[in-house]
Amino acid sequence: MSHHSDSLPGSLDNLVAASDEPTSSRAPLPEGTIPVGIGLLVAGLASFAFLKVGTSALGGDDAFSPVQALWFATFALAPGFFLPLEQELGRALSARRALGQGGQPVVRKVAQLGAILALVVALTVLATSPMITKSIFDGDWVLLGALLVAFVSYAPVHMARGIASGNGRFRAYAIVMGADGAVRVILCVLLFVVGVKTAGAYGLAVALAPLVGFTWVLSRGALRTDDGPPATWKEVTPNLGWLLLGSVFAAGLVNAGPIAAKLLETDEQKDLVTQFGKGVLLSRIPLFLFQAVQAALLPRLSRLAARNELAEFRVGFRKLLYVVIVVGVVGTLGAFLLGPFVMDKMYQATDISGRTMAMLALGSATYMMALALAQAVIALRGHALVGLGWGIGMAAFVLVTWLSSDDLFRRIEYGLVASSVAALISFSVSLRHKLRTGATPSQESVMEAIIDMPFES
């Protein structure tokens, strides 16, 4: 979605503005909802188109398998490490904007952190490159290079999104988000038209696509920030460690299925594993719908939190959970009944059963519920508990996938469901604890919760 992924940004300014509104205010959608929603839609549709075009261009699932693995690996890494920087940058800039202070010193501080993170992860990938190249990219070193380029490319992209959200520049945020997916598909179509048949070229299309939207908004001046008072590390990193821990595990979990399948596959299973990855993407449709629901409901919850109207906040959040449950149930039933038909029509994938699709959708639906509760815990300033919960989920995935079955798909399906259930239980306990101890949301924590969507498309 990876989100890698993302709900309505920049809402702290709306919180501040709304805190003076009467309780009866019913302005349903703040300024940025429509452009950000369009960006989400473009990014989501582009995901399906990319897999379709890439498979056709390379002549089948077997040849496209390492490129698809690159796609999932990129969105396991980039949002996991860079989304927390986007969150903290947006929060800090919004706070300064409310005070009439320029944010350039904040941008410089977060850029330093981004450069350090990008360097550390890139060096780690290089150190393990022989294993990664052999097990994930079928020995194609160009795709290893594409993974490095893609990961580094998302550092300025998430910085740009943080600047846009913190300054309420919703159109720029939407352009950065939507252009990534759209340009990726356009590049693949161009490669297809000119007859390129090498996986590495399509991998580089994945790697370079995010820079186009970033370059566009940068050239248009949409990322400008004014100078202001010096920024301290405490201003930009109060919760960064816990956000980073949670984000890495959460983004890893939502992409763990296809990556694990690639690691565990035999030579005879490559086609099946590629189809499985496409099934995982199709099962994420409820998550895309969840983003749309959030865009409509979270601004209202944000205003209630800003006015400390906790009773109404709880009622509103309960309504959000009801919607999540309905979307999840419908998605799971739809995957079981229609999943194989849709897979056949979209990707000519005939080997993925209704049971597999239903299990994948159930895992996505449970993950969606866990994500909603995690956002509530963050809003109540439980960042450490969220990091711990996603860590428990990752541990459950590894253990269940390892021990549950010898069947490739079944063990991963069990692992995905178990990981989401483990995280859901952890967040339920954490949320109950926070509410019982009288925790209250702050404007900053609500801002971080709203854009905590650790998957991309």
CB 423 within 8 A of CB 364: no
CA 414 to CA 396: how far, in whole Å? Answer: 10
Which 3 state secondary structure label does DSSP give 52?
A: helix
Residue 344 DSSP one-character state: H
Strand, helix or coil for residue 437: coil
CA distances (Å), origin 171, targets 164, 168, 265: 8, 9, 42
H/E element holding 246? Answer: helix 240-254
Is residue 366 within 8 A of residue 397, CB to CB? The reply is no
DSSP line for 61-99: HHHHHHHHHHHHHHHHHHHHHHHHHHHHHHHHHHHHHHH
pLDDT of residue 305: 63
pLDDT at 4: 39
CB 52 within 8 A of CB 347: yes
Q: Which two tokens stand for residue 259?
A: 């990556």
With CA atoms as reference, report the closest residue to 81 among 213, 233, 251, 209: 251
Report how far residue 42's alpha carbon sits from residue 37's, in angstroms, rounded to the nearest whole number.
9
Task: Record the tokens describing residue 302, joined without a space.
Answer: 């944000």
CA distance 445 to 440: 10
DSSP code string of 101-134: ---HHHHHHHHHHHHHHHHHHHHHHHHTHHHHHH
Rounded to the nearest 10 degrees, the angle between the axes of helix 270-283 and helix 285-306 is 30
User: Which pair of tokens denotes residue 343?
Assistant: 């897979």
**Four-residue CA torsion sign, 246, 249, 252, 257:** negative
What span, in angstroms and rounded, lies between the C-alpha atoms of 335 and 329?
10
Query: Which residues make Cβ contacts (< 8 Å) with residue 196, sequence separation at least 6?
Result: 57, 202
Residue (of 11, 230, 234, 233) closest to 102 by Cα position: 230
Q: Amino acid identity of 54?
A: G
For 407, how many CA atoms within 13 A lie in the half-sphere containing its CB? 5
pLDDT tens digits along 102-145: 999 999 999 999 999 999 999 999 999 999 999 999 999 999 99
**Contact assessment for residue 431 and residue 380, using Cβ atoms and an 8 Å cutoff:** yes
Give CA 414 to chain center in angstroms: 22
* DSSP summary character for residue 308: T
Whole-number Å distance between alpha carbons of 361 and 344: 17
Q: How far is Cα 218 from Cα 157, in angstroms, rounded to an integer?
A: 10
**What stretches of 380-407 show up as alpha helix (H) in DSSP?**
383-403
pLDDT in tens, 24-62: 334 344 445 566 667 777 777 888 888 888 888 898 888
The Cα–Cα gap between 348 and 20 comes to 55
Over residues 165-181, the pLDDT tens digits come to 888 887 888 899 889 98
pLDDT tens, residue order, the chain (457 aa): 333 333 333 333 333 333 333 333 343 444 455 666 677 777 778 888 888 888 888 988 888 999 999 999 998 999 899 988 988 898 888 888 878 899 999 999 999 999 999 999 999 999 999 999 999 999 999 999 999 999 999 999 999 998 988 888 878 888 998 899 899 999 999 999 999 999 999 999 999 999 999 999 999 999 999 999 999 988 888 888 888 999 999 999 989 999 999 999 887 888 888 889 889 888 887 777 676 566 555 556 656 666 677 777 777 778 778 888 888 899 899 999 998 998 888 888 778 888 999 999 999 999 988 988 888 888 788 889 999 999 999 999 999 999 988 888 899 999 999 999 999 999 999 999 988 888 777 666 766 666 666 555 5
CB 166 within 8 A of CB 88: no
- The per-residue b/e assignment along 308-319, b for 16 or more CB within 10 angstroms, e otherwise, is eebeebeebbee
Amino acid at 163: I
Terminal Cα-to-Cα distance of the chain (whole angstroms):
3
SS3 readout for 38-49: HHHHHHHHHHHH
Residue 416 — φ and ψ, nearest 5°?
-65, -45
- Confidence at residue 87, expressed as pLDDT on a 0 to 100 scale: 82
What is this structure's pTM? 0.81
Take residue 309 and report the two structure tokens written for it. Answer: 């109207």
